[in-house]
Amino acid sequence: MERKDEAEEAKSKVSVIETWLRKHRLLYVGATRHPFIHSIRDGSVDVSSFKRWLEQDYIFVRAFVPFVATVLLKAWKESFDATDLDVILSGMASLNDEFAWFNKEASKWGVSLTNVAPQKANLDYCRFLESLMSSEVEYTVAITAFWAIETVYQDSFAHCLEDGSNTPEELRDTCQRWGNDGFGRYCHALQSIAEHHLEKASDDVRKRTEAAVLDVLEYEVAFWNMSQGDT
């Protein structure tokens, strides 16, 4: 009987991440329902904005790879659950495919990915990623930031594929890249890992993790703004 009560309580308990998403709803919605995403979804997107996003995101993803490598290293050192390594490694593998995808997409749009100058919002975001790569940053902070970064893209692009969307055919591949169900399951797996570590974390680590998630959301909004030319 007591066991059953505990199980029921665990089921109804609001997780740490869910609490933050409720508390920072406006910012989360700002990052995942940005006007740039709305413009893809309703078909009014400006082609030059899309091309700018493509060029800048390629630069971001190049900086994202070493960040993910440090998350993998921290998982190996700080987590005793083999699932963590499996999930992070699957994320790295999909980043490898992502580079091939960027090259294919760039030639489709007549964009050159070499010699592109990173814009300020991108540089700021890459610098933030670099700060998270430090060995001083705990695994809990890094894995939760990783979850947030991936989830913003998943949630944003999945929105462009929902029933009722008017996403142009030539942009559907981009939306599928991050909005597909498999990527959604991967984000959920990252969330479970992050939750597991947040449950055990000290108040101080939790506070710093929450701050890192908020930073991610703000950098994502700035990144979409930059894509639209609003910097």
Ligand X SMILES: Cc1ncc(CN)c(N)n1
Query: Which residues are designated catalytic?
Result: 220
Report the site for ligand X in 52-111 (rule: CB under 6 A): 57, 60-61, 64
Question: Any contact of residue 153 with ligand X (CB under 6 A)?
Answer: yes
Q: Does 175 bind ligand X (CB under 6 A)?
A: no
Residue owning tokens 């740039």: 36
d(CA 50, CA 136): 37
Least Å distance, CB 6 to ligand X, is 37
User: At CA 17, angle to CA 90 and CA 86, rounded to 5?
Assistant: 15
Question: Minimum Å distance from CB 41 to ligand X?
Answer: 18
- Which one-letter amino acid corresponds to residue 60? F
> Segment 212-231, which members bind ligand X (CB under 6 A)?
220, 223
Q: Note whether 150 binds ligand X by CB under 6 A.
A: yes
Q: Does residue 194 interact with ligand X by CB under 6 A?
A: no
Closer Cβ to ligand X, 156 or 206, answer by number: 156
Q: How far apart are CA 222 and CA 58, in angstroms?
A: 16
Q: Which residues contact 223 (CB under 8 A, 6 or more apart)?
A: 56, 60, 121, 122, 125
Tell me how far, at minimum, the Cβ of 200 lies from ligand X, in Å.
26
Instruction: Let me know: does 63 contact 130? Beta carbons within 8 Å.
Output: yes
Please give the residue ranges that form the binding site for ligand X (CB under 6 A).
Answer: 57, 60-61, 64, 149-150, 152-153, 220, 223
